């Protein structure tokens, strides 16, 4: 805790999602109190990061290296739980391209065949700081069911059944 200036986020190593299994630790929390919370479970302690919002990128990649990246989503949290998502995220071109490059490289290095959601913290300076990743359809991209002609679910099915990936085109409703 001294290396983290007395503040951090305690996260369970399993079954934690959407802010569940997380606890903010402050200088007021005694080691005895923290130990009581842990109760033999495995946790990791992360440095507390001040961030503007969380940005999710979702990539779909086939074994043949064909890939598509969904428009990034901006996530707002309340008490550590996802409260609202906005798509597409309001990002500078530089930040968008940086995030897309990071997830593309990660998917390539992992030899991904499927979906990979990667969450970043958007810092004050516009830089992205890795938070976590999930190799599956992601709740911050459920909007794609109505917002795009090809949803994250459809794209995943196309990917794992060997069909070419669809272009990601916005669904436009109007007269």
pLDDT at 160: 95
3-state DSSP of the chain: CHHHCCCEEEEECCCCCCCCCEEEECCCCCHHHHHHHHCCCCEEEEECCCCCEEEEEEEEECCCCCEEECCCEEEEEECCEEEEEECCCCCCHHHHHHHHHHHHHHHHHCCCCEEEEEEEEECCCCCEEEEEEECCCCHHHCCHHHHECCCHHHHHHHHHCCCCCCCCCECCCCC
pLDDT at 174: 60
pLDDT at 15: 75
pLDDT at 1: 65
Per-residue pLDDT in tens (0 to 9) along the chain, 175 residues: 677 777 888 888 887 776 677 888 888 888 888 888 778 788 888 888 889 999 999 999 999 999 999 999 999 988 777 889 999 999 999 999 999 999 999 999 999 999 999 999 999 999 999 999 999 999 999 999 999 999 999 999 999 999 999 999 998 876 5
**150 φ/ψ angles, rounded to the nearest 5 degrees:** -125, 110
Q: Sketch out the chain's domains with CATH numbers.
A: 2-47 (no CATH), 53-160 (3.30.470.20)
């Amino acid at each position: 805790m001294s290396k983290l200036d007395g503040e951090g986020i305690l996260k369970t190593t399993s079954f934690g999602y959407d802010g569940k299994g997380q606890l903010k630790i402050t200088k007021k929390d005694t080691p005895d109190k923290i130990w009581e919370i842990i109760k033999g479970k495995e946790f990791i302690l992360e440095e507390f990061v001040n961030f503007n919002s969380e940005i999710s990128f979702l990539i779909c990649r086939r074994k043949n290296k064909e890939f598509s990246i969904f428009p990034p989503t901006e996530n707002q949290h309340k008490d550590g739980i996802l409260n609202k998502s906005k798509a597409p995220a309001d990002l500078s071109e530089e930040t968008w391209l940086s995030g897309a490059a990071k997830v593309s490289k990660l998917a390539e290095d992992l030899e991904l065949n499927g979906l990979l959601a990667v969450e970043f913290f958007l810092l004050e300076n516009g830089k992205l700081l890795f938070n976590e990743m999930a190799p599956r359809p992601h709740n911050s991209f459920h909007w794609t069911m109505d917002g795009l002609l090809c949803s994250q679910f459809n794209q995943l099915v196309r990917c794992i059944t060997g069909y070419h990936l669809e272009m990601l085109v916005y669904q436009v409703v109007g007269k």
